[in-house]
Structure 1
Amino acid sequence: MVLFLLCIKAELDGVESLSLLKNTNLCFSIRNPLSDYETRDKIVFHPTETLDQDEGDREPPHHFCVKWEGSKKVSTLIVLDDDAVKAALKKGKKKGGKSKGDAEVDVPRDLTSEDSGEFVPVLAMECRGLEPYAFHPMGGEFRVVSQGGVAFEEGVDLSEGDWADYDEENDMSVSINEFEAKIIAC
């Protein structure tokens, strides 16, 4: 089992927070960590819906699974809630685990105006036999809250790397620019 964190960064203008919605489909590309050529591009799963399982299945409930060529076992991806992330991070620290590229790994949270331009974890995934390596925004995965407190949930599409709208209630423009995502292993 490996813990992977989806981290995002962006330049926020007139935006107080950017958060990943939990009730929408997410799109990732994954690879077989034991093979250089086996990948699945743009797989889609819902982070609150687990797949149906047979009664005798040994695998815990999971959000996505794939059986790689020649493998006897199913590889799974599980989206973790906050308590499970804290437990996994604590367990990793006891084993001496460190994240790649970051000194300290935090529990997933919203990207705020104070984080503008810095990577922040927004989603944690426990993976067995697969490795997510790219996130593909499809539109509709994010919620934006303006500095005036107005929430934008529909029409937030970061697939092109930026988004803009107008907060009529507070007479101000809001925008997200230079959106980037990366996935780190813990």
Structure 2
Amino acid sequence: MNRLYSILFKEISSNQGVSLVEVLITTLLLSFLFTIFSGFVEIAARFTSSTNISDSNNNSRDVIIDHHKLYLTLDKYTEFLSQPGISLDDINDILNFKSSNLPKGCSYSPNIEWSLPVPSNIIKGDDWQPSNAGYAICLKGTSLNESSLSDLVRQSNGSSLNAQPGLYFLLALPTDISINHLPVRRLFCRPNPFC
């Protein structure tokens, strides 16, 4: 052990400094690190700040904030639409709803046009709304069609019916797709007690 300390001490005391090769390698590695870091910051900035000047006219702030608020909005609508109190006829009315230039089942103001008691402003004190940020909320069905509520109840009581709940997509579609406006979707099952 003493021999190791003496060799180590001799090596440290005889060290004349850093060689030119070590300085060049260190500088190269440091510049490579800063290049990678600046590239990451540039890419991250595209997703966190809006570069479109027209976005200042509406309530769109940036992709991350808009998506967070869109997910909160879709969660509120999903929570409401998945309840058994909303009939299958109501869901079919929403699926067949046609608003101006939007596809079937889409609306800029679903709480008003679909007559849903969901607040327009999801976050209290914030005036952000999907329509102001350039998004339409859409309800789309899947290939798993929903059976009637009475069939689902009979099946849960032991009947041999082949009743099944329905799967639906709730979408937030932007008016124009860009790097700052991307679509968002939620998959949900309804009626909730039978999922």
Q: TM-score, normalising length from structure 2?
A: 0.27
Q: If each structure's strand is expressed as a fraction of its own residues, which one has the higher value?
A: 1
* Greater RCO (Cα-Cα under 8 Å, separation 6 or more): 1
Q: If each structure's helix is expressed as a fraction of its own residues, which one has the higher value?
A: 2
